[in-house]
Amino acid sequence: MKPYSKQVLSISIVLLAFILGGFIHYKISLPTWEDQQVKIYNFLSPVPVDALGNFDQDVLQSEGKQEKEQEEVQAEGKSIEELIREVFGDNADRAIEIARCESGLRSVCNDGVNSNGSVDCGIFQINSIHGVRSKWLLNPDINIRVAYQIFTEQGNFSAWVCDRKV
């Protein structure tokens, strides 16, 4: 065997060990599915997950909790209509009509599950197919911001049934 062949072989073994070691380390340090969900949500959401609390799948159905959320928003000195005006700007009048038709400007979930298994929650009755937990949609500020995100993506209010009613 030629002397440089031993060097090439030694270097090849070291490189192979380095690559395998890095791969093993990478496999061990892969993020969990929950971490990936948080990253995806943070990318899509107008509100960071850290501001939303636990990654909880429970739907808040209690009227007392929903009323408390609304009282907290109003205690900050802003009504639901004022929040909608801040977020929707020139489109606020139409947005308020839609929200009034959808929920009566109340932060509630619909009474049942839709035919496709989804649920509508909050001021704008955002459907769970949009990937935001019902618990978060009951927060008026989050619900209004998610509604605005849907509105801007579609360029209109056609995502809401009430768009055809009012």
CA–CA distance, 16 with 158 (Å, rounded to integer): 57
Say which residue the tokens 């900050």 belong to. 76
DSSP three-state, residue 120: strand
What integer pLDDT is reported at residue 56 of this predicted model? 37
What integer pLDDT is reported at residue 62 of this predicted model? 45
For residue 10, being part of any structural domain is answered with no
Summarize pLDDT for 75-93 with one digit per residue, the tens: 466 899 999 999 999 999 9
What integer pLDDT is reported at residue 126 of this predicted model? 94
Sign of CA dihedral 145, 162, 56, 136: positive
For residue 34, being part of any structural domain is answered with no
Summarize pLDDT for 93-149 with one digit per residue, the tens: 999 999 999 999 999 998 778 888 888 999 999 998 888 888 899 999 999 999 999
Residue 21 has pLDDT above 80, yes or no: no
Structural domains of the chain, count? 1
What integer pLDDT is reported at residue 82 of this predicted model? 94
Domain that holds residue 84: 59-164
**Do 160 and 148 contact (CB within 8 A), yes or no?**
no
- CATH at residue 122: 1.10.530.10
Q: How far is CA 40 from CA 36, 43, 51, in A?
A: 6, 5, 15
What backbone phi and psi angles, to 5 degrees, belong to 120?
Answer: -110, 130
